[in-house]
Structure 1
């Protein structure tokens, strides 16, 4: 069974390594990024990359540096983030693939023809590759097919320039018509990204770099972080930042992962983290489709549900952060985004009485299987186990009227405090 993976970003690389470990012959096709960029990531992202086996990519992260936040007229030094040079990061991802024995083809995909028998991929170098299964992991560059859900149309203008070496740092700043994220690497490379509504009135292409420089000049934070060099026109790249999720992220012989399945507003959360979140489950989904076709519907439903749930979680995170900006709450940019995607709370209140045990799909070993899970207000897709402790039989017993002390006899002694604490967090009275 030959598998083609289109894209060697974090999602494509994670899927390819996972499939390689399962014994599948994998070929990754990827072109190089068309522009230089830097991203700020959390420790959680680095842990996810390490879990996927992308150790050289992890090593690309700069040491943690401070991040300043100016939002709603207040400034806070919220936390730290690890800055990643995407050019070096993308190169390291390829080395991770080659070290694992994954075949890598460096080319641009011109066209993909899909049928029930497989996929025919035409490359810009004139070659044509064939695969029985296809993983679409080209991020926002992947062609969109079928119905989709879109957030407010959003545009980001990325500016890059070279300054003198200095202490690395990053910051985020809210503005009347959008917000800006900025970062400086130790070698003096500087980045400033302005995110606006896609319908914002902008000057023509020839004047856009000068317009961005004027916008930077209006910010005391920019001048403090970068100095006067930030006030000059800089290299510029425009890209869409619209949140989007596809209604169909899989088929009988194909699967979408990462930004190709759903892409979030950059304020909602780190793009690398959400890419990994869908990619880490993909090898088990694909393995199920190929080796256990009787469970194909279960596996595809599992992937779709988790992509959609992840999308909503990120979208609501962004909504709540937009709502914190009160100075321009009625400006079109902010008014639209503080109300999207819905009014549902980010975290629902715990209610033990509403807890349900249902059959649902989970990753079990290397495939997707149906098991009993516990659905809670805050975990609508269900929880199978808590650090190895299966919850469904214990919750069933409690719901049937068995007293807690008797149920605890079924739990290993070292795990009893953890189980008790979980029950309390789910709204069960301590005295029960």
Structure 2
């Protein structure tokens, strides 16, 4: 494989893999570096991955353009046609039929998305350096040099950092982050339910945080239960039957009796926003640039929106004969994505805090607002369209 490229992407998760494929389709010579080997295709009979995402229509379009959607749909993807959001005082219902769409999105495992993109990478012009680790990066005015642990040096005109929330490349470049500690932990598991999920995504706001029940292709649900660290530790320590009883109660019994069907995994919740998205010959995408609260399942979609914008910016650079690593080119991407991601971070944090607030009368005000929005007609339909992308 050659060692000089137009663009090197570091990180082969769904966002990085999508970026590498898209940039190669734009005509750039692309290298992809990741510490793990490319993922093997997923057997439909395999156990479902615990990490799932609510994939929007906009993300589906990008995955279709990259040739990955048919692979994903051929393994498993669970459409959700309805969404129900409620707390003790109000409820909002969303339905795909309200906007004349077949569904609102799909619940898909991280592993399935990644495997489909990696399958496309194997058939592409992208040079994949996997497994391989970046030891140093040198960002110079005329290009970037990545020093790899085993393959020597890679030179390129631009480096795309898609190496996750703890991004080593971001740290090497000296780009700081602004954290938002939600003072919560999330519990994740797959569960069985007494009643069918009816292709409905559900989210109940509790005093300690939101509980999401997401429909899976095999009839089970995935849960993301955000709560206080102390409560998360207590719940995680319960026997499966006791955890199921607590979960059934927390969900208002909307799916009847619930029972965990996998281990229950806990992780802390902290949103981050990079202080800047670009540096000399470097651009951040996905979790390397931002992470948000999981209450709306937007993390993957925001990352793929980064990719779509980067591809648009790079496409214009090709048409104009610009160097893809020029700061003026990268600034166009940063101006488009940083404000949107910053807005989503603070909006989701605000919603989380609003529903946890115990200020006098706040519960009744929330209920009134939810009922008003649920009957808002055109406003609600526009929100659905925007959420779908």
C-alpha change, 1:68 and 1:38, in structure 2 (3 Å) is same
Alignment of 1:86 onto 2:115: no
C-alpha change, 1:250 and 1:226, in structure 2 (3 Å) is farther
**Counterpart in the other structure of 1:50:** 64
| Residues 46, 58 of structure 1: 8 Å contact kept | no
Task: Indicate which of 158, 163, 174 corresponds to 2:205.
Answer: 174
| Residues 273, 290 of structure 2: 8 Å contact kept | yes
**2:327, 2:57 → 1: CA distance?**
35
**Counterpart in the other structure of 1:77:** 93
Task: Indicate which of 11, 14, 18 corresponds to 1:10.
Answer: 14
Deviation per CA, 1:200-230, whole angstroms, max 9, x where unpaired? 5653898277685564143244x54263423
**1:72, 1:162 → 2: CA distance?**
24
Q: CA deviation at 1:55?
A: 3.4
Alignment of 1:138 onto 2:136: no
Q: Which runs of 5+ in 1 are unaligned?
A: 339-432
Q: Identify the range of structure 1 (114-123 vs 142-151) with the bigger mean alpha-carbon deviation.
A: 114-123
**Counterpart in the other structure of 1:259:** 287
- Aligned partner of residue 159 in structure 1, secondary structure: strand
Alignment of 1:27 onto 2:31: yes
| Residues 181, 269 of structure 2: 8 Å contact kept | no
Deviation per CA, 1:40-89, whole angstroms, max 9, x where unpaired? 23323322433455433663533334332223533343234421122222
**Counterpart in the other structure of 1:61:** 77
**Counterpart in the other structure of 1:428:** none
Q: Identify the range of structure 1 (68-77 vs 280-289) with the bigger mean alpha-carbon deviation.
A: 280-289
**1:176, 1:57 → 2: CA distance?**
40
C-alpha change, 1:61 and 1:112, in structure 2 (3 Å) is farther
**1:151, 1:317 → 2: CA distance?**
12
Alignment of 1:152 onto 2:178: no
Task: Indicate which of 307, 310, 322 corresponds to 1:279.
Answer: 307
Alignment of 1:248 onto 2:276: yes
**Counterpart in the other structure of 1:292:** 322
Q: CA deviation at 1:263?
A: 1.8
| Residues 52, 110 of structure 2: 8 Å contact kept | yes
**2:80, 2:28 → 1: CA distance?**
37
**Counterpart in the other structure of 1:379:** none
**2:160, 2:202 → 1: CA distance?**
35
**2:325, 2:127 → 1: CA distance?**
29
Higher RCO, 1 vs 2 (CA within 8 Å, ≥6 residues apart): 2
C-alpha change, 1:208 and 1:149, in structure 2 (3 Å) is farther
| Residues 314, 324 of structure 2: 8 Å contact kept | no
Q: CA deviation at 1:20?
A: 0.9
Task: Indicate which of 146, 151, 157 corresponds to 1:120.
Answer: 146
| Residues 185, 266 of structure 2: 8 Å contact kept | yes
Q: TM-score, normalised by structure 2?
A: 0.69
Q: CA RMSD in A?
A: 3.9
**2:325, 2:250 → 1: CA distance?**
56
| Residues 139, 282 of structure 2: 8 Å contact kept | no
Q: CA deviation at 1:174?
A: 0.8
Q: Identify the range of structure 1 (234-243 vs 209-218) with the bigger mean alpha-carbon deviation.
A: 209-218
Q: CA deviation at 1:177?
A: 0.8
Q: CA deviation at 1:312?
A: 2.8
Alignment of 1:102 onto 2:130: no
Q: CA deviation at 1:97?
A: 2.4
**1:16, 1:252 → 2: CA distance?**
19
- Aligned partner of residue 210 in structure 2, secondary structure: strand
Q: CA deviation at 1:284?
A: 5.3
Task: Indicate which of 211, 219, 227 corresponds to 2:250.
Answer: 219
Count of residues in Structure 1 that have an aligned counterpart in Structure 2? 326
| Residues 249, 304 of structure 1: 8 Å contact kept | yes
Alignment of 1:183 onto 2:214: yes
Q: TM-score, normalised by structure 1?
A: 0.63
| Residues 77, 108 of structure 2: 8 Å contact kept | yes
Q: CA deviation at 1:168?
A: 4.3
**2:238, 2:277 → 1: CA distance?**
36
Deviation per CA, 1:349-385, whole angstroms, max 9, x where unpaired? xxxxxxxxxxxxxxxxxxxxxxxxxxxxxxxxxxxxx
Q: CA deviation at 1:311?
A: 1.6
Alignment of 1:305 onto 2:309: no
Q: CA deviation at 1:265?
A: 1.9
Where does 1:306-321 land on structure 2 (aligned, <5 Å)?
306-318=336-348, 321=351
